Amino acid sequence: MFTFQHEVKYYECDRMGVTHHSNYVRFMEEARVAYLDQLGYGFDKIEAEGVFSPVVAIQCSYKSPTTFKDIIDIEVAISKVSEMKFDFTYTMRVGQKTVCTAQSTHCFIENGRPVAISRRLPELYNKLF
């Protein structure tokens, strides 16, 4: 598990002063990118190998609103890894209060076709466990 912090920006809030729901997907991406960087195999390294990892599914459950200047602690972890895809889970908190839980699923492709990451990038595959 890895924890990433995001401070809510003014432009991320709607007219009611609440963080717009679409921004949580961006927060997930920020946390996911930082997590893979911390593992030493970030998206820049993966893509330099010619492999891409698009999102194929996202699920979010909003628990409580956040507002401008809130610091969101985003706990991100890899919950499932297979030959062709992997899942991340996210728990977002402000203080002790959970504000959002989420999951994203990603596949691996090379030249537009699915690729088995265990064979194509075994170093990454081993780091995902």
Q: What is the pLDDT of residues 13-49, one digit of tens each?
A: 999 999 999 999 999 999 999 999 999 999 999 999 9
Let me know: does 79 contact 103? Beta carbons within 8 Å.
yes
CA dihedral of 121, 81, 63, 96, whole degrees rounded to 10:
-80
Domain 2-127, CATH number (from 3.10.129.10, 3.40.50.150, 3.30.70.20, 3.90.1750.10): 3.10.129.10
Give, as one character, the DSSP assignment of residue 18: B
Let me know: does 100 contact 90? Beta carbons within 8 Å.
yes
Task: Write out the H or E segment, with its range, that includes residue 125.
Answer: helix 122-127
pTM for the whole thing? 0.92
Mean pLDDT of the chain, nearest integer: 95
